[in-house]
Structure 1
Amino acid sequence: MAKPEIEFTASSSVAFTPCKPHIDGLMEAILARDDTNNSVTRVLKFEPGTDTSPLGVLKHEFWEEVFIFEGSLADQRLNRTFKAGDWAVRPPGMEHGPWISEHGAKLYEVRSYQKRE
C-alpha cells in the first residue's frame, strides 16, 4: 500500500519505538510508510548521550533527506557538529556517520527509492 493520506495530525499521536538495528537511545516515530517499496517518513530521536558508533559508517540503497529540528549531532567521521536548522540530502551509497548526540536531537527524515540518472 502507498503512503496513506493523512490530514494534519499531532506528531505526539505517533509512538517512538526502538530503531533497527538497535542502538541505546535511538528511537523512531514512523509518520508514514509505503509498504510496496519501504519509503518512510519518520522522526528520529537521539536521547542525550546516544552514540551510533557501533553501527560504523552507514551506506544504504535509498535516498535520504534529513532536517535537524531540535538539538545537535556530532559526526565522528567528519569531526563536525550539526545543529537545528541543518539538513542533508543523501543519494544511495553516500557514506555518513557515525554520530554522537551529547544533548539529544530530533530529525525529520524522508527515505525514498528513486532511479538515479
Structure 2
Amino acid sequence: MSLTQQEFTTRPPHPAPGTPPVWIPTETNQWYSIGPGIWELHLNGERGSHNRSVLQWYEPGATSATDEVITHTYIEEVCFLEGGLEDISLGKAWGQGAYAFRLPGMRHGPYKADGERGCLMFVKLVPGEEGGSGSVG
C-alpha cells in the first residue's frame, strides 16, 4: 500500500449540492464523484483499491448508486462526522459520532442521506477474506 504522510487542519470543503460530477481527480485534495450526489476525497492508500482511507460525502437526500443490498470482500470501518445516513434494507440510521465496522460478506445498504445535512463520513477499507460475517454497532 502506498502511504504518504499527510496532514491538514481544515479539511478541503466538500462540493456544494448539485455540483457537476468530477470522475477523475486532477489535483491533490480534490473531491471526485463515485455516484450521483456521492463524493470522495482520497486521503491515503492506493486510489481505487480496497486498501485506502477516504472522506465520503453524500449530498442531502442522495441515495446509493444501486438499489441492491451491498456485500464486499474487504473490511470497512466508517465514522460518521456530520449529518446522517439511513440503511434502507436494515431500517437503521446513523448520525454524527456513530461508528460502523463491517466484515467481508456483511449485507448492508442501499443508503439514503439525511435530507437537510447530507452525510460526511471517514471510511477506511482494508483487504479481507470473502465470506465473513459481521454486525453494525
Counterpart in the other structure of 1:82: 94
Find out whether 1:14 has 2:21 as its counterpart. Answer: no
Length-normalised TM-score, structure 1: 0.84
The structure that is strand-richer by fraction is 1
User: How large is the RMSD of aligned CA atoms in angstroms?
Assistant: 2.2
* 1:113 paired residue number: 127
1:11 is displaced (CA, Å) by 2.6
Higher relative contact order (CA 8 A, sep 6+): 1
Q: TM-score, normalization: structure 2?
A: 0.72
Which residue identity lines up with residue 50 of structure 1 in the other structure? A
Aligned residue type for 2:4 = P
- 1:95-106 equivalences under 5 Å are 95-101=107-113, 102-103=115-116, 104-106=118-120
Provide the C-alpha distance between the structure 2 equivalents of 1:81 and 1:115, rounded to a whole number of angstroms. Answer: 27
Unpaired runs of at least 5, structure 2 = 13-27, 133-137
Q: Which residue of 1 aligns with 2:4?
A: 4
Shift >3 Å, 4+ stretches: 114-117
Query: Which residue number corresponds to residue 85 of structure 2?
Result: 73
Deviations 1:11-67 (A, max 9, x none): 317111001xxx3100100111236x6411000000011011634211111110000
Shift in CA distance, 53/18, structure 1 to aligned 2, threshold 3 Å: closer
